[in-house]
A = this chain, B = another copy of it.
Amino acid sequence: MVCWPTGRLLSTAARLVEHAWVEALDPLGLTHAGMVALHLLGSGPLSQTELAHAARVQTQTMSRTLERLEREGYVVRTRDKHDARRHSVVRTDAGAAVWQKSRTLEADLFPELENADALRDALLTIISASSARRW
């Protein structure tokens, strides 16, 4: 596996880490995608398009994620007064609470790394390089 291409290592590592997340979040009735949305809503209401953009995801994907969050009571969607096309998405108190709980998991889940800074650097470079066209 040492000779696998870097892109494949990246996918594999991400999948395994996300698997750990799923297990940890399940008892909270939350998914990783939902957690991202709750995080982004921390600084105030957003439209679905804004949320999708911030999460680097398609609006269709965000739509479903929010549908689930709303079903769980972690989020409320209301029509915008000034633009009836837009949904104003607000994090509920329950949503804020569950997000706080989930925050503490991060440190426990992610393995300790010597070169964590180099990793973050590289990931940010990759993200900005490959998202240049879409976002």
Which residues of A, 83-135, contact B by the 8 Å Cβ criterion?
Answer: 106, 109-111, 113, 115-116, 118-127, 129-131
Of A7-15, A44-52, A64-72, which binds chain B? A7-15
Which residues of A, 1-32, contact B by the 8 Å Cβ criterion?
Answer: 1-2, 5-21, 32
Contact A56-B122, Cβ < 8 Å, known A110-B7, A111-B130, A130-B111: no
Binding site for B on A (CB under 8 A): 1-2, 5-21, 32, 36, 56, 106, 109-111, 113, 115-116, 118-127, 129-131
Q: Which of B1, B36, B119 contacts A127 (CB 8 A)?
A: B1
Chain B: CB-nearest residue to A2: B124
Work out how many copies of this chain go into the complex.
Answer: 2
Q: Which of B14, B32, B111 contacts A14 (CB 8 A)?
A: B14
4 residue pairs, one from A and one from B, having the closest CB atoms: A14-B14, A118-B118, A111-B129, A119-B122
CB pair B7 A10 closer than 8 Å: no
